[in-house]
Amino acid sequence: MSEFNKIAIVGRPDHKGVADTCTRLLSFLSNCGVSVIMDATTAELAVARDCEIAEKETLSMDCDLLIVVGGDGSMLKMAKFVVPDDVPVIGINRGKLGFLTDVLPNELEAQLSAVLAGDYEVERRFLLDVAYLRNGQRHALGSALNDVVLHPGQAAQMIEFELFVDDRFVYSQESDGLIAATPTGSTAYALSAGGPIMHPDLNAIVLVPMYPHSLSSRPVVIDGESEIRLVVAKRTSHCPLVSCDGEVCHTARANEEIVIMKKQSPLRLIHPLNHTFYQACRSKLGWGSRLASSDD
């Protein structure tokens, strides 16, 4: 008997192919005798008539597994809701890249049959928590699976800040901002800004400057248990923004401190047994495949 007896489905609306995949997925799970729960939007996409409905933010409170149908962005949006309930997640890729949503739509029955039979791998991906300090008090802002970014919020506007790691001063900088990325996020925005690709198993955080006003300022990889503190300059022409996975969560003030730390509860990400990070890089980033042998 499968350990996943009640499965939640979340589909991204207005995304090519999601409705068809959700309908097909619902039919497959129903034929497997699995109870299904969806949010109202996904139920409408799947034309589900007798399905249990719940709010998207609370789906993981009442299921054994959550399936995300969409792209990596859809997975990012759900991660913060799922992590507190310690529910595993698997993604069916209807996006462009699919580093997090790696089940192909045309293989969903075969791949999910294996998962229901217990043939899968579990990967634990850590998130970042971010807060701001004001009058000695720490105020939580949110969590991010990919990255926390300090940025000006508008083009051609540099900001000034100081960087501390574990209360040790690193540098002051004038730039378009700073990206603090997890290994998961190292293949996202941080990669576009010139950061390194980090294997998901690493317990590390990469700090990537955004267009720094210094040729010597480069990405730095630090221990994942480190506390990162960004201090906004006392005199600033405008207030920089803080974003979690691309969503603005705070407008910082002059001399305000932003604190970023590893979240203790990880996201449990399920993969089919044939999944590897390097295969995903070859597929998504265009890395070269095996060289043909001289006998071919």
* Residue numbers annotated as active site: 72
Q: What element of type H or E holds 289? A: none
d(CA 18, CA 37): 17
- What does the H/E/C string look like for 42-88? HHHHCCCCCCEECCHHHHHHHCCEEEEEECHHHHHHHHHHHHHHCCC
d(CA 19, CA 17): 6
Of the candidates 168, 261, 256, 174, the one whose C-alpha atom is nearest the C-alpha of residue 211 is 174
Helix (H, G, I), strand (E, B) or coil at 264: coil
Tally Cβ neighbours within 10 Å of residue 16: 10
